[in-house]
Structures are given as C-alpha cells and as structure tokens.
Amino acid sequence: MRNQEVADILYQIADILEIQGEIQWKFLAYRRAARTIENLSENIADVLGKQKLPGVGKAIEEKVGELISTGKLEYFEKIKKAIPPIVIEMTEIEGIGPKTAKLIYDAIKIKSIKDLEKAARSHRIQRIKGIGPKMEKAILKGLSNLKKPKRHLLGVILPIANEIYNELKQVKEVKQISLAGSIRRRRETIRDIDILVTSDKPEKVMQFFTTLDLVKKVVVKGPTKSTVNVRSDIQVDLRVVEDESYGAALQYFTGSKEHNVPLRTMVAQMGYKLNEYGVFLKETDEKVAGKTEDEIYKLFGMVWIPPELREDRGEIEAAQANSLPNLVELTDIRGDLHIHSNYSDGKSSIEDMVETAKKRGYKYIAITDHVGSVKIAGALDETTLQNQISHIRELDQQEKEIRIFAGAEVNINLDGSLDLSEDTLDQLDIVICSLHSKLRMSRKEITNRIINALSNEYLTILGHPTGRLLNKRQPSDIDLIAIFEVAKEHGKILEINAYPSRLDLNDVNSRTANQHGVLLAIDTDAHSSGQLRFMDLGVSVARRGWLERNDILNTLPLEALCKKLRIK
DNA sequence: GCCGTTTTCGGCCCGACTGTTTTCAGTCG
Ligand SMILES: Nc1nc2c(ncn2[C@H]2C[C@H](O)[C@@H](COP(=O)(O)OP(=O)(O)OP(=O)(O)O)O2)c(=O)[nH]1
Ligand SMILES: [Mg+2]
Ligand SMILES: [Mg+2]
Ligand SMILES: [Zn+2]
C-alpha cells in the first residue's frame, strides 16, 4: 500500500472522528500522523516500527501496520459505516463545518448529494434548529462545485497574485504590503492568495479591496480581515494591521499553520505570547516585539527562517542551533540543461532559446529534444537528431558568451535500456533519460527499470523522476531510496523539473536525495523561450528541500560543469 | 492520540468574523 493511500485513510478517520464529536486532540493526532506519512520519501512499510515517525505512536502504528500487511483496517471499516461520505464532503462548503454537518445528518438522514439537494430545495434544512436560511442557501450554492480541484498551480497563481498585489500597493492608505501564506512559502500548489497590508485606515483599505473590479463575491468583510473570490473562484484573503505589527502579522500570515503552532507553543513555554500583533509578556501583556520577523525569531534564540522552510520539518530546531542551510538562489543558476526546441514539440528555435538564455545571464544551455521510436511530443528520428547536433555545433562555434550543449531527452525502455543507438548517445553532451510509457508498472519492476537506466554510462540526468503531474497524475510507485543509492553510486544527477505542473522531484524528495549524497539539476523543460522563466519555480522547490548552491549541478561555472560531466 | 532538558499524566496556539445568537458557538485564518 502506498504512503498516500495510508495517509488518506488516516485523514478520513480524522474527519469521521471530528464529525462524531470526538475530542479534538484525538482527530488532530490522526491528521498529524497522516501528514508525516504523506511527506515520507521512504515507503511506509520499510520504516514503520524501525524509525521514529513524528506523530505516529503506539495506537496509530498498530493501525498502519494492519493496513499495510492486510490492505484493510477493521477499525476504519467499522467507524465509516456511521457517517456517509456526503456528510464529510459537506464540510468542504464554505461556512459548513463538522458541527453543522452532524446537525444536518442527525436531523434528516441524508445519504447522498441528491438527498441533500432535495432537502435544501424543499427548505427542510433551514427548519433545523440552529440553522437558518443563509446556511441553506450556502449549501445549495456550494453543492455544484463540491468535486472541483481545490488547489491551483503556483505558476498559475503567482501572476494573478502579483496583479492584485500591485493594485493594492497603489492605494495611498497602504503602508507596507507583502504576499503571505503558501505563496510566500512557494508551495507547489496554492489554495488561496494571502496578502498582508499595514495601514492606519483599515476600513478604507478593505473598502477598496472588496470593490476591486475582479472581485466576484465578498465572502467575509471586517476591519482587519476580509475574504473575496475573484475570477473563476480563486479566493483572496487580506489581512490589515498597524505598521507596528508588520513583523508579527507577516510571521503569522506566512505560516504555515504547522510551523506556527509549535512556534507559539515554544514561545508560551518561555513565558510569552505570540499572535499576529506582536510578542507579549504573559504576566503583564506588555508588548516586547513585533515590528519585524527577524526580531521575533531572534528574541527566542533563533535566526530568521526563510519562508520556504516554515513547514515544521525541523526548521525551528535548526534555527535555534543556527544550522539552517544557506539556501540556493535564482542568481546562483548558471544554465539550463533541459530545453525543447522547434525541432520537436517546442515553440522556439534554438537561436531564440540561446538569446533568451543569454539575457538571463546563463553561461550554458542544453537543447534536449525528444528522440526515439516512441512517437511522443514530436520526437526526432536519429537522422534529424544528427542534423540538429551539427546545427548546434555550428552555432556554438559562433557563440562567445554561452556554451550550447547538444543533448536529447531519451526514453527509458521497459527493460531500462535507452531508446537510442550507442553511436548517437556517444555524440551527445547531455543525455536526459525519462520514463514516458508504462508509468504504472509495479513498484519492483519500475524501480529496477530506473536502476538499469541509472547504470547506463550514457545517462547524465534522470528527468522528472516520479512522473507525477499536479492535480492530474499520481507519481509512479518507485522505491526512491533505492534510486538515490544507485544514483549516488554511479554519480548520476537527478532532476528537479521546474515545469509548473511537474515540479519533480518535489521538495521533500529533493531533500532526501541530497541527504543520500545525490547531486540535483534544476531544469525548466522549457517548450518556448518564455518558459525559461520557470527556473524560478525549480529553485523554490530546491529551497523548500533545504538545498544549498553546492547541491545543484547547474550552479557550477561552465568549466567545472564540463569537468564534472566529462564533456570536452 | 501523542509526547517529554519542567512532565509518563496533563497539557495540546491564538484570534477574527458571522449567523442566529439572547450571550456565543462554529468556522476559518
Ligand atoms: N497560528 C495559526 N495560524 C494559522 C492557522 N490557520 C492559518 N494560519 C496562518 C498560517 C497560514 O499560512 C496563513 C494563511 O492560511 P491559509 O489557510 O491560506 O493557508 P496557507 O496559505 O498556508 O496554505 P493554502 O492556502 O492552503 O495554500 O494563516 C491557525 O490555525 N493558527
Ligand atoms: Mg493560503
Ligand atoms: Mg488564506
Ligand atoms: Zn522534456
């Protein structure tokens, strides 16, 4: 059983317990354990009971053990009978939580969405004690977008967020402003746009915000906090505080929640209180900090923590020990080694790519079009690739500022061999190898397939290693630890593919790869010159994976890179 | 249900906004 499947069952148990009115510590414990398991690079079956897993104690360990050995959990089968799925789904509607869902279920025993819709239309919901017409209306409206995907790609949300940010920045009552929440932490997917503003006239700012042209609906509006929906139901949260509280509010609103809770717990143990307005002495309520994030973290013996690390993954302890990594930055990147041109399915010519790369200050790029017998993405045949290689060598001769490598993205065959002749492979500088077929092989088979590929002397970089597509396709079921070990053994590079829907390896797996001594390359997989800008997203993944400049292949200067990859 | 340089039992972050409230619980951030 896969980690995500185990985690999903624990999340469902938590939801059921919450609706049943169980004390919050119990269902929160299930969520904590689920989060640990879904963020594991190792397969849960390989580490359960052998390694300390935060939030997994005796009771949950036993249940997970049963789940992975039998594929079923008696306890879960039993409790889920009490609550039909629709009751849990209902809580996805804005304003409906576990208590309301339970209230409705107890009053009228709905079993499906249809039941719920009928009850709402015939006004049987608003007659339930404790519920009124507003709730009933919210349910009717909310039912239609129940099953829609709720998280957006960072790459899609960022431009919209910046647009709103820039509009608010113009307002004269706005003093300081920052994007916050998961956007500031650069999570791979984003549920909503969180913005923090400081001002002496919060009402003015809120009035402006809630009447922006792109606002479709005002969900909540208060003097310090408002929520609106824009465009196709993207939620935007605005928080307004006084200038004196900017640091505290930014710390709060950047999160994550999982970071804030243990931080506040620690602060409380030291005799203080931390909220979005500042740090206060518990005894006297005297304010002692809050203007900047830096002074808050310092006050409690920490160095400032980069937002990308604020996920409760050991950053608080590391900040106390002053052992946070010196994170890689976009400006450290010297080149891009995975690029498609109009020889295959790319939109831009090699020449255009070179020009844009030079503007970005790169010292090298590799053109890596698809090649091979599997006819995907306008794959080149070998003869065309040969022509392309000559073309690239010619261009490279003329270029002084930038080195252009000849490369290809080669399919990994079912047995792990490469779908290109040795003769041609031998002429390439950069060989990206990736899976493009049969991504659903068994864990054992696909792991061996990749290990075989990694053992091939011609492979330079393993491209988008897990094959996941955000909101579309689960990662392949791979023993990543085994992959990392083999990559390390053969000195192979693993990719952080920066394409917005891939971001593969992801943050936690990049971190684990690095801990196993594997070098990573951040590649955009650009299909047009404009897409070279995706590098920013890849760097964010690396930063969230605690990676430093030296952990990334393409921060190397040209000469060092050539030496490392034995390119003449 | 989990966890421990105060603890093996007693805590577990802290605050804003709304609807249906007659004094605040529920939901959300
Ligand atoms: N202290 C504290 N802070 C919270 C809590 N819930 C949310 N926050 C803070 C931290 C979050 O990063 C921030 C924004 O909340 P969001 O619900 O928008 O979450 P976030 O942006 O982190 O992720 P998402 O929107 O799901 O992509 O508010 C909470 O329960 N306690
Ligand atoms: Mg958010
Ligand atoms: Mg939010
Ligand atoms: Zn590609």
Listed residue (A167, A196, A164, A204) closest to A179, CA to CA: A196
Looking at residues A34-62, what average pLDDT do you find?
97
What's the pLDDT score for residue A234?
94
A457-475, pLDDT tens digit by residue?
Answer: 999 999 999 999 999 999 9
Is the CB atom of residue A314 positioned under 7 angstroms from any atom of strand B? no
Counting ligands in written order, the one closest to the CA of A189 is 1
Mean of the per-residue pLDDT values of chain A: 96
Alpha carbons A350 and A90: distance in angstroms, whole number:
51
What is the Å distance from ligand 1's center to A259 Cα?
Answer: 10
Confidence bin at A99 (pLDDT 50/70/90): very high
> Is residue A224 a contact partner of residue A202, using CB atoms and an 8 Å limit?
yes
Q: Per-residue pLDDT averaged across A49-54, rounded?
A: 96
pLDDT of residue A369: 97
- Find the range with the poorest average confidence among A153-157, A164-168, A230-234, A368-372: A230-234
Angle between helix A535-544 and helix A154-170 axes, rounded to 10 deg:
100
Work out the pLDDT band at A95, boundaries 50, 70, 90: very high
Residues 6+ apart with CB under 8 A from A138: A93, A94, A95, A96
Rounded distance, CA A207 to CA A226, Å?
A: 10
Q: Which residue is nearest to nucleotide B18 (CA to C1')?
A: A220
Tell me the ligand closest to A181's alpha carbon.
1
Q: Give Dmax (Cα) for chain A.
A: 80
Q: Which residue has the higher pLDDT, A7 or A113?
A: A7
Amino acid at A363: K
Length of chain A: 568
Pocket test for ligand 1, best of A24, A257, A266, A305 (most atoms within 8 A of CB): A257
Of A256-265, A367-376, A381-390, where does mean pLDDT reach its minimum? A367-376
The CA–C1' separation of A248 and B16, in angstroms, is 16
DSSP A36: H
The answer, yes or no, to whether residue A54 has pLDDT greater than 90, is: yes
Give CA–CA dist A201/A179, Å, rounded. 19
Cβ proximity of A317 and A324 under 8 Å:
no
Share of chain A above pLDDT 90, in %: 92
Distance in Å, CA A105 to ligand 3 centroid: 28
Q: What's the whole-number mean pLDDT along residues A480-490?
A: 98
Gap from A476 CA to B1 C1', Å: 32
pLDDT band at A568 (very low <50, low <70, confident <90, very high): confident
Ligand 1 mean position, distance from CA A419 (Å): 46
Strand A192-198 and strand A177-180: pairing? antiparallel
Closest ligand (CA of A185): 1
* Mean pLDDT calculated for residue range A111-139: 90
User: Do residues A546 and A514 make contact, with C-beta atoms less than 8 angstroms apart?
Assistant: yes
Q: Which of A31, A179, A190, A256 to mutate to test the pocket of ligand 1 (most atoms within 8 A of CB)?
A: A256
Domains of chain A: 3-146 (1.10.150.110), 152-241 (3.30.460.10), 246-320 (3.30.210.10), 330-565 (3.20.20.140)
pLDDT of residue A378: 85
Crossing angle of helices A480-490/A443-454, nearest 10°?
A: 10
Structure tokens at A470: 């955000």
Residue A445, pLDDT > 90, answer yes
Residue A27 is predicted with a pLDDT of 97
Tell me, yes or no, if the pTM score tops 0.95: yes
Atom of ligand 1 nearest to the CA of A254: 12
Residue-wise pLDDT tens digits, A228-267: 999 878 999 999 999 999 999 999 999 999 999 999 999 9
Say what the pLDDT of residue A308 is: 98
Return the DSSP state at A505.
S
Name residue, tokens 């789904």: A89
What is the Å distance from ligand 4's center to A338 Cα?
6
The predicted pLDDT at position A149 comes to: 76
**Site to substitute for ligand 1 among A236, A260, A267, A310, most atoms within 8 A of C-beta:** A260
pLDDT of residue A148: 78
pLDDT confidence of residue A463: 98
The Cα–Cα gap between A353 and A347 comes to 10
**Residue A376 reports pLDDT greater than 80:** no
Q: Report H helices in A127-173.
A: 133-143, 154-170
pLDDT of residue A22: 94
Give yes or no for a cis peptide into A434 (omega within 30° of 0).
no
- Strand B contacts in A 66-95 (CB under 7 A): 91, 93-95
| Residue pLDDT, tens place only, A538-557 | 999 999 999 999 999 999 99
How would DSSP label each residue in A247-282? HHHHHHHH--HHHHHHHHHHHHHTTEEEETTEEEET
Any idea which of A251-260, A301-310, A369-378, A421-430 has the lowest mean pLDDT? A369-378
pLDDT of residue A147: 78
**Higher pLDDT among residues A377 and A191, named by residue:** A191
* Residue A62 pLDDT exceeds 90: yes
Give the bridge partners for A410, in sequence order.
A371, A433
Over 80: is that where the pLDDT of A499 sits?
A: yes
Tell whether the model's pLDDT for residue A26 goes beyond 80: yes
CB proximity A228–strand B (7 Å threshold): no
CB of A15 nearer than 7 A to strand B:
no
Collapse the DSSP code of A153 into the 3-class scheme (helix H, G, I; strand E, B; otherwise coil) and give the result.
Answer: strand
pLDDT bin (cut points 50, 70, 90) of residue A508 is: very high
**Mean pLDDT, range A360-368, rounded to an integer:** 98
Q: Which residues 38-67 in chain A have a CB closer than 7 A to strand B?
A: 54-61
- A252 CA to B16 C1' in angstroms comes to 13
In the numeric block, which tokens belong to residue A292?
């900047």
**One-letter amino acid for residue A92 of the chain:** E
Q: How confident is the model at residue A150 (pLDDT cuts 50, 70, 90)?
A: confident
Between residue 111 and residue 150 of chain A, the positions with Cβ below 7 Å from nucleic chain B are 126, 129-135
Q: How far apart are CA A149 and CA A469, in angstroms?
A: 13
Residues 6+ apart with CB under 8 A from A218: A210, A226, A227, A228
Q: How far apart are CA A304 and CA A322, in angstroms?
A: 9
Q: Is the CB of A260 under 6 A from ligand 1?
A: yes
Cα(A235) to ligand 2 centroid in Å equals 9
Nearest alpha carbon, ligand 1 atom 8: A257
List strand B contacts in A 195-214 (CB < 7 A): none
* CA A142–ligand 1 middle distance (angstroms): 22
> What pLDDT, on a 0 to 100 scale, did the predictor assign at position A267?
96
**Residue A256 CB less than 6 A away from ligand 1:** yes
**What pLDDT is stored for residue A393 in this prediction?**
98
Of A66, A53, A75, A52, residue with least CA distance to A1: A66
CA distance A55 to A94: 29
Query: Cis omega (within 30 of 0) on the bond before A256?
Result: yes
Among protein residues, the one whose C-alpha sits closest to the C1' atom of B29 is A253
Residues 155-194 of A with CB under 7 A from strand B: 181, 192, 194
Q: For A404-423, how does the pLDDT look when each residue is reduced to its tens digit (9 = 90+)?
A: 999 999 999 999 999 999 99
A333-372 residues near strand B (Cβ < 7 Å): none
Q: Which of A153, A158, A160, A194 to mutate to test the pocket of ligand 1 (most atoms within 8 A of CB)?
A: A194
CA–CA separation, A31 and A451 (whole Å): 34
Give CA separation, A196 vs A178, A202, A224, A244, in Å.
5, 11, 10, 13
